[in-house]
Amino acid sequence: MINHEPNTLYGTTILCLRRGEEALVAGDGQVTLGNTIIKSNACKLRRLAGGNVIVGFAGATADAMTLFERLEEKLEQYPDQLQRACVELAKDWRTDKYLRQLQAMMAVCDKKNSLILSGNGDVIEPEDDIIAIGSGGTFALSAARALMPMEQLDLEDIARRSMKVAADICIYTSHNILVEKI
């Protein structure tokens, strides 16, 4: 049983898939406050670096906005070096007294890289080109792993099917899915 504080925002599902240089990030739009859905069409995806980087977040919205701004600064400092920008952000996130308090995770991708960033200072590159974070992440990850070998399915179809599985199971994930592609 999950015991959530009633006044804390929880839940989302973010899924990042990659085949070669094709990549996408999908996210649901549900925002909950305790056990109540307060919004079903939130956008938890952002394009950064002139549209060349897609970021999806799970966690507190205000914290994620702060992290988007910080990542954008790192991408300006290290253009076309997503991995380096993410490592630099993770260093700051782990060592800065203010940033350490932020409660969010991010799935980040460009044409070459897919990465998970966490507040623990982690920058993780998945071994199977699939990232799934948030409350429904394990459900979306399982579905995506089953569907990725089906080459007749395009990435968006796999993402939408996987996100539907997550939304069917996770009460904090909605069927309102947004997809951003690179």
Show Cβ contacts of residue 144 under 8 Å, excluding neighbours closer than 6 positions: 15, 17, 130, 132, 158, 159, 162
Q: How many CB atoms lie within 10 A of CB 108?
A: 27
Residue with tokens 């490592």: 87
DSSP annotation of 50 = G
Catalytic residues: 12
Cα separation, 141 vs 77, in Å, equals 32
